[in-house]
Chain A
């Protein structure tokens, strides 16, 4: 054997050499993983900040033909009691996004897609014969429908990020004792004999909202809550999951609406406050 061929063979077949490469590369990969795990949270915060600022610009300044959201919803997104305009500050971003999508959706221009296997069941199923229709749901409003159709998906995302991070502190208002007592009874216990569950059983303790699906009731204008329950009853609003809110609204009398809205208006509440 010549020494040269020996060296060649060892280069090709020596396992220790290859495993050395593997170890070195694995260490490098692990190092990069660690570095990127450290870096990625910062970069995601930075991108969230970009979305937030873009949303802020749109919300406060508007665009060519889109008026500023703040002109109705308030500079702090606090809503307006007199004109029944809801608070947006501190709502869940996915909730805001969904509502904007439902405002933008035209009930007349929907396209029917027939699929053999259902993908997500979370929408309200409506059974007609042997077909189950999962309607995405709509919200009807004289001005919001037009405005929401002018927003792009990125706009909706930006606005949702901006408004979900705003601070809101509720100013509890005084009501008479009987109203509050009846409102509390409805909020904590519902009307069992009518099959009406308690408001707090889905909207969270003290009506503070739960996740992206159940919005907060506390901190919303009384007039807005009453108007929305009326919309559920008349079908102007139809974008609930599993027809939950439609069933609930059907069981509420006019007195119930006033009492329970007053109860939530009487509670103290703050969100995103340092």
Chain B
């Protein structure tokens, strides 16, 4: 008995020092060689049957929003600046309405300017519009309220709240010169065709290959160095969008991923990869839909709206 405890004491004391194995690992690592392995994701360019469409960037085709430096120096310009502040730093400038760690610009990429990244300039001229989700005609303000309720998992600002006015003003300024009532190129998200063949296991591999670097192994994103707000937004967990939001629909999320992710390499994932990783993300934990009861959320956590 005595020797048994002595043995474990030695083992534990060695590991509780902690530095010895760590240093050995640090110093012992050698140069890794070129690694060639069979691909676990579907091959892209092997057989003619598996050829995929390659997206061609044609910058001239998209609407060009005005520069931030050109915001006018008057009361209107102040409202635009406030709207932009709320848009890129929602947790600070609209603290009383934001419920999670996301900003507006987490989904409306590059301050609402990126084509195929839900740009604001393409949306402004289309509202008021009929929305299938609510089965009514909604105005831009009502749509922004839904963003706060679902995607921001927070509280909807009233129609006359200064934050709401600022956001609408910013949207209006950003779409200066855009035609009204027209589907502009780069509007919303790119199309991803339906498929019945979704596999979260393949999606996990795609996640680890392409997403984990920034969004983290646990999908909880990464915070800024000073601990305030997120550098890379969380994809699931308490600080992410809730189950009532648009990105909780698998195909919508796949569209977003295909058109925008990884950052700087839009349209690099195929439809199948986007859908696989979308259903992998769909299966994770996130805040409940506020329009659904606690009991429903507990017993049917992933019920489709």
Q: Does B128 contact A (CB under 8 A)?
A: no
Interface size on A, residues (CB 8 A): 69
Complex: how many Å from CA A33 to CA B16?
A: 7
Complex: how many Å from CA A33 to CA B231?
A: 37
Q: Which of B96-138 contact A (CB under 8 A)?
A: 109-111, 113-115, 117, 119
Q: Does A127 contact B (CB under 8 A)?
A: yes
Complex: how many Å from CA A28 to CA B222?
A: 40
Cβ of B36 and Cβ of A40 under 8 Å apart? no
Provide the B7-33 mask, 1 if CB < 8 A to any CB of A, else 0. Answer: 011001100111100110011111111
Q: Does B48 contact A (CB under 8 A)?
A: no
Residues from chain A with Cβ under 8 Å of B209 in the complex: 121, 125
Cβ of B45 and Cβ of A105 under 8 Å apart? no
Q: Which of B46-77 contact A (CB under 8 A)?
A: 46, 57, 59, 62, 64, 67-69
Residues from chain A with Cβ under 8 Å of B34 in the complex: 110-113, 133, 135-136
Residues from chain B with Cβ under 8 Å of A193 in the complex: 59, 62, 64, 115
Q: Which of A90-112 contact B (CB under 8 A)?
A: 101, 104-105, 110-112
Q: Which of A114-137 contact B (CB under 8 A)?
A: 114-118, 121-123, 125, 127, 129-136
Cβ of A127 and Cβ of B33 under 8 Å apart? no
Residues from chain B with Cβ under 8 Å of A36 in the complex: 13, 16-17
Complex: how many Å from CA A87 to CA B119?
A: 38
Cβ of B35 and Cβ of A133 under 8 Å apart? yes
Contact of B18 among A40, A131, A134, A188 (CB under 8 A): A40
Cβ of A244 and Cβ of B264 under 8 Å apart? yes
Cβ of A127 and Cβ of B231 under 8 Å apart? no
Q: Does B298 contact A (CB under 8 A)?
A: no
Residues from chain B with Cβ under 8 Å of A118 in the complex: 37, 40
Contact of B38 among A25, A123, A131 (CB under 8 A): A131
Closest to B41 in A: A132
**A45 CB to nearest chain B CB (Å):** 9
Residues from chain B with Cβ under 8 Å of A18 in the complex: 1
Cβ of A197 and Cβ of B264 under 8 Å apart? yes
Residues from chain A with Cβ under 8 Å of B224 in the complex: 204-205
Complex: how many Å from CA A201 to CA B210?
A: 16
Complex: how many Å from CA A195 to CA B40?
A: 27
Cβ of A195 and Cβ of B264 under 8 Å apart? yes
Cβ of B37 and Cβ of A131 under 8 Å apart? yes
Cβ of B16 and Cβ of A185 under 8 Å apart? no
Q: Which of A1-9, A66-74, A206-214, A220-228 contacts B (4 or more CB under 8 A)?
A: A206-214
Q: Does A247 contact B (CB under 8 A)?
A: yes
Cβ of A114 and Cβ of B37 under 8 Å apart? yes
Residues from chain B with Cβ under 8 Å of A127 in the complex: 39, 43-45
Contact of A197 among B5, B27, B69, B110 (CB under 8 A): B110
**B213 CB to nearest chain A CB (Å):** 6
Cβ of B265 and Cβ of A101 under 8 Å apart? no
Residues from chain A with Cβ under 8 Å of B304 in the complex: none
Cβ of A110 and Cβ of B33 under 8 Å apart? yes
Q: Does B208 contact A (CB under 8 A)?
A: yes
Residues from chain A with Cβ under 8 Å of B113 in the complex: 189, 192
Cβ of B222 and Cβ of A211 under 8 Å apart? yes
Contact of B31 among A105, A129, A242 (CB under 8 A): A105
Q: Does B263 contact A (CB under 8 A)?
A: yes
Closest to A34 in B: B16
Given contacts A115-B37, A131-B37, A133-B35, whether A185 and B43 have CB atoms under 8 Å apart is no
Q: Does B285 contact A (CB under 8 A)?
A: no
Residues from chain A with Cβ under 8 Å of B32 in the complex: 136
Residues from chain A with Cβ under 8 Å of B38 in the complex: 114, 116, 130-132
Give the top 10 A-B pairs by smallest Cβ distance, nearest first.
Answer: A110-B34, A132-B39, A193-B59, A36-B16, A192-B114, A121-B209, A111-B33, A192-B113, A25-B5, A44-B19
5 intermolecular pairs with C-beta atoms under 8 Å apart: A47-B19, A121-B205, A131-B39, A189-B111, A192-B110
